[in-house]
Chain A
Amino acid sequence: MNYDFSEEAEKLFEAIRSIAATAPAEEDLAGATVDTISAALREMLKTLAGAGYLQDGLAGDASESAVNQMAAMETLAGQARSLFLAVEMSTRVLGRALARWGTGATQEQWREGLLQGQWIGALALSEEAMNVQNDPLATVGSRKDGRVVVSGGKHYVINAPLADKIGVVGLLDDRPAIFMLDAGTEGLSISEPVPTMGYDGIRMADVTLDACVLPEENVLLPPEGTPVLDLLRQWENEVLMAAALGMMQAAFAEARDFAKSHRSGGKPVIAYQEVGFKLSEMLTLYQTAQLLAYRAVWTLKDQPKEGAALIWCAKVFATEAAERVAGDALRILAGQGYRAGSASESAYRAAKWTQIGGISTEIARVRIGDQALGYAPGR
């Protein structure tokens, strides 16, 4: 047992902090063009690759490194909310799929491009029934003359308007596959960016594939029996857990600093129990969520089943805690917090998404319950 981070890990966090400090502010990204966001994201990807951040913890490394990675992700998420999510969808989700299941030169090239931060990637998974819990995937590829033709429609794909490479999840030979498409592929169309309640600096869009043709080596086919959709959701969950931790860290710090310096009735407002006690609850939720998230990713390495259940637990707890912490921060910050641009206000809006994305908190609870009951998932 050891509850300390190694010196090496602390160095990584410090490096991430300095990189994140150079990121454009969330409110500056809100109204920015796709090109501006794309440039900021590319810059961030390149510097993060240099710091070793993008490659870590992807290929089933040691448990300790998974915890370090989670803490590094939290650090980035706390300071650069939207760019963090964009980076992670490109690398920790799509890049990780390639690192895990990639074979052959093309897939190697994709993996290197994404994990070295040269390309922006997007993962298109969600369809009409976006949680992919209840209905089979409708995006299907078929083989034709050594090539694959794929059609389908995907919703709400982060990075789609800026991506160089899009991994589209569908079925080939009745098995889950990821169709690797270049942005300019014929038949691939990307909608206008979809406006969202939070995450002002991401750009996401719907993606349509109308008989897109790709070489067979551009199909990522995980080994038969791999729970591909569950794993993709799990990786997304890890990202959203880190996002939630980052939000709590930022909202808590903003509210605490304010409460210590802002005076009312002749004393700093933290001296009032209504404020000080709220901050105590916020910090308790944050620290508890943090330890749970660390333990969840740590457990995954040697006990995948137990680890997966802990990820559901941590996802639910951290993302619900994030909304509460951000909401309480807003009450403490009062008028100052309600202004657009405060860390807590943007965290409050973004927190909602962390509960919906990956496996929704509803479905996660059902799965945790099923496991306790010894029922097959989704009964």
Chain B
Amino acid sequence: MDFSFSREQVMFKKEVIRFAKKEIVPRVQEHDLNGEFDFQSFRKMGDFGILGLHFPEELGGGGADVVTTVLAGEALGEAGVDGGLTLAYGAHSFLCADTIFRHGTDAQRQHYIPKLASGEWIGCMGLSEPDAGSDVASMSTTATRQGDTYVLNGTKMWITNGPIADVAVVYAKTDPDQQHAGISAFIIDKGTPGFSAGPPLLKMGVRTSKTSELVLNNCVIPAENLLGNEGEGFLMAMQTVEWDRSALLAPFVGSTTYLVKKCADYAKGRVQFGKPIGHYQAIKRKLADMRIFGEAARALVYRIAWCKDQGRPLNHLEAAVAKLFIGDWSLPVTNDAVTLHGGYGYTHEFDVERIFRDTRLAPIGGGTSEVQKMIISRLM
């Protein structure tokens, strides 16, 4: 076994941290309070090469391996980038763009990937529905073949980047009588008649990412917008799980490193009963638990990334273990960070409060902790 990163990877991570601290972090709090998506930062992430990091250079990507890509996500969290922007990045680069890259035709790749990699276009992915979240195979959105077109009807729910996306990968049933095997994936462009996004949902956390319904009302798209073949959609969605359990979880790991530093700085400066609160063992315990969580989570995420780099099929049990651990164990840690800041931690003045709210998504999004337990108990 070998847990090392290459020199280049370590340097790259440092560069991402530097970039994010300078270009993104100063505006994070303001965007969170206003519930605004930070278009400017998103484009800068594209210019810096983060959005398309793992795509080939000829498509405007950085040609990086998965481990490096995951390191970039960790770096964003470590720099203090909020969970909303990192979620928007994850939905864009992995759930949308990567699906097109993997399953699209050459023409579709040439058309979409360079613009998605640069951030000129924003992507989203619509799988969940109002009545089909954990039980996604029971989705009711349909796609009916009519000559050279498909006609889509239904509603998607909780779609990250939904209101701002230029392109969506949408899952719908081409065979409504089937469960998983009836699901297919389609590319839908913004402005397609019959395709619209609902108003942004007001959310507890990840407020800088825009989330909405996607409504498909007799939405007609060319048949070539089908990704792969009919019935392959569920497998495609499952393939994004690798990214979901590595690159999308990595910012939480980085964010813990950020929290430890933030909390330690606060504890050194805040004096109560005549000494800095950092002198009290109860405060040290909170810092210790934060660090322990971060260190424990780290190898889980990189294990998945490394296996993907080796070209191995995803080990669903290991993926679910990573998601379950980070989802459930990140909450007490961010809760402690708020408590450590006392009343100040409860205000918007300190970003621990936002991190607490952002992290609350970890055991829900991308498959709840209960769903992970269902997977693990089936596979063990």
Interface residues of A (CB under 8 A from B): 1-5, 63-64, 67-68, 256, 270, 273, 276-277, 279-281, 283-285, 287-289, 291-292, 294-295, 298-299, 309-310, 312-314, 316-317, 362, 364-366, 368-370, 372-375, 379
Contacts and interface: CB of A to CB of B under 8 A. Distances in A.
The 6 closest A-B pairs by CB, nearest first: A369-B284, A276-B377, A280-B376, A368-B288, A291-B299, A365-B288
A279 B380 contact: yes
B1 A2 contact: yes
Contacts of A283: 317, 321, 376, 380
A256 B291 contact: no
Interface in B1-60: 1-5
A370 B318 contact: no
A280 B291 contact: no
Contacts of B279: 375, 379
Contact of B285 (A2, A63, A64, A365): A365
B377 A317 contact: no
Contacts of B284: 365-366, 368-370, 372-373
The binding surface of chain B is classed by DSSP as helix
A277 B354 CA distance: 30
Interface stretch (B100-108, B199-207, B241-249, B301-309): B301-309
B300 interface: yes
A369 B292 CA distance: 10
B260 interface: yes
A372 B264 contact: yes
A290 to B, nearest CB: 9
Nearest to A287: B321
Contacts of B299: 291-292, 294-295
B302 to A, nearest CB: 7
B145 interface: no
Interface string B143-155: 0000000000000
A372 B295 contact: no
A316 B291 CA distance: 11
Interface of B: 1-5, 67, 260-261, 263-264, 267-268, 278-279, 281, 283-292, 295-300, 302-303, 306-307, 317-318, 320-321, 324-325, 370, 372-374, 376-378, 380
Contacts of A375: 278-279
Contacts of B378: 276
Contacts of A276: 373-374, 377-378
A373 B268 contact: yes
Contacts of A292: 295-296, 299
B311 to A, nearest CB: 13
A277 B377 contact: yes
Nearest to A298: B3
Nearest to B318: A287
Contact of A365 (B289, B298, B324): B289
B297 to A, nearest CB: 8
The binding surface of chain A is classed by DSSP as helix
Contacts of A362: 281
B376 A284 contact: yes
A152 to B, nearest CB: 29
Given A3-B306, A280-B372, A280-B376, A372 B260 contact: yes
A291 B376 CA distance: 18
Contacts of B287: 368-369, 372-373
A309 B112 CA distance: 46
Contacts of A370: 284
Contacts of B1: 2-5, 64, 67-68, 294, 298
Given A298-B1, A365-B288, A369-B287, A1 B302 contact: yes
B68 to A, nearest CB: 11
B228 to A, nearest CB: 30
Contacts of B307: 3
Contacts of B286: 369
Contacts of A298: 1-3
B292 A288 contact: no
Contacts of A294: 1, 3, 299
Given A288-B321, A317-B292, A369 B377 contact: no
A284 B325 contact: yes
B377 A270 contact: yes
Given A64-B1, A288-B325, A317-B296, 4 more contacts: A280-B372, A287-B321, A299-B3, A373-B264
A296 to B, nearest CB: 8
B300 A291 contact: yes
A317 B297 CA distance: 11
B219 to A, nearest CB: 38
12 contacts: A280-B372, A283-B380, A284-B321, A292-B299, A313-B288, A313-B291, A369-B285, A369-B286, A372-B264, A373-B267, A375-B278, A379-B279
A277 B328 CA distance: 13
A279 B200 CA distance: 39
Contacts of A365: 281, 284-285, 288-289
B283 A369 contact: yes
A292 B302 CA distance: 12
Given A281-B373, A284-B376, A1 B2 contact: yes
Contacts of B296: 288-289, 291-292, 313, 317
Contacts of B281: 362, 365-366, 369
